[in-house]
């Protein structure tokens, strides 16, 4: 499986520590992040979907999968903008479903300030694609 360019770059900016019931990850988008130029020109902000992608990629690492595909976004709340070089801390609980799905509830913070809450359901991407 070869993931898209944005996910590949986010993965390279992500560090994941797996725990028994979840994971803790850090994500820092430096000024080279490919979406900054267009989101937005002259005032770069990490897109909300890239935070979701970071949660999915960290979840994949936790599950030992190459990647996770989004099935449903139950709820996501964004409280502040993430700027270049902000160190985002992701604390997540993971519950495996019976149908090979995983439910992830993640709290995202920057410098202990609440940044976002994301609750989603995902499915491991088929291997070898």
In the complex, the residues that contact another protein under the rule CB under 8 A are: 2-7, 34-35, 37-41, 47-50, 52-53, 56, 69-78, 81, 129
Q: Which DSSP letter does residue 9 get?
A: H
Considering the complex, what minimum distance in angstroms separates the CB of residue 20 from another protein? Answer: 27
Output 24 or 48, the one with its CB closest to another protein: 48
Work out how close the CB of 61 gets to another protein at its nearest, in angstroms, rounded to a whole number.
17
Query: How many angstroms separate the CA atoms of 27 and 44, rounded?
Result: 16
In sequence order, which residues have a C-beta less than 8 Å from that of residue 41 and are 6 or more positions away? none
Smallest distance from the beta carbon of 66 to another protein, in angstroms?
11
Quote the CA–CA distance of 111 and 113 in Å, as a whole number.
5
End-to-end CA separation in angstroms for the chain? 4
* Residue nearer to another protein on the CB measure, 16 or 54: 54
Nearer residue to another protein within complex by CB, 74 or 114:
74
The two three-digit tokens of residue 86, written as one number:
């902000």
């Amino acid at each position: 499986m070869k993931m898209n360019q944005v996910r590949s770059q986010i993965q390279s900016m992500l560090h994941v520590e797996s725990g028994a019931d979840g994971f803790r990850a850090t994500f820092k988008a430096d000024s080279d992040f490919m979406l900054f130029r267009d989101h937005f020109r002259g005032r770069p902000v990490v897109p909300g979907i890239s935070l979701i992608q970071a949660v999915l990629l960290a979840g994949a690492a936790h599950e030992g999968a190459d990647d996770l595909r989004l099935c449903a976004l139950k709820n996501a709340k964004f409280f502040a903008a993430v700027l270049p070089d902000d160190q985002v801390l992701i604390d997540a609980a993971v519950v495996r479903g019976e149908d090979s799905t995983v439910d992830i509830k993640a709290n995202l913070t920057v410098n202990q300030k609440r940044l976002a809450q994301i609750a989603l359901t995902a499915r491991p991407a088929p291997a070898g694609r």
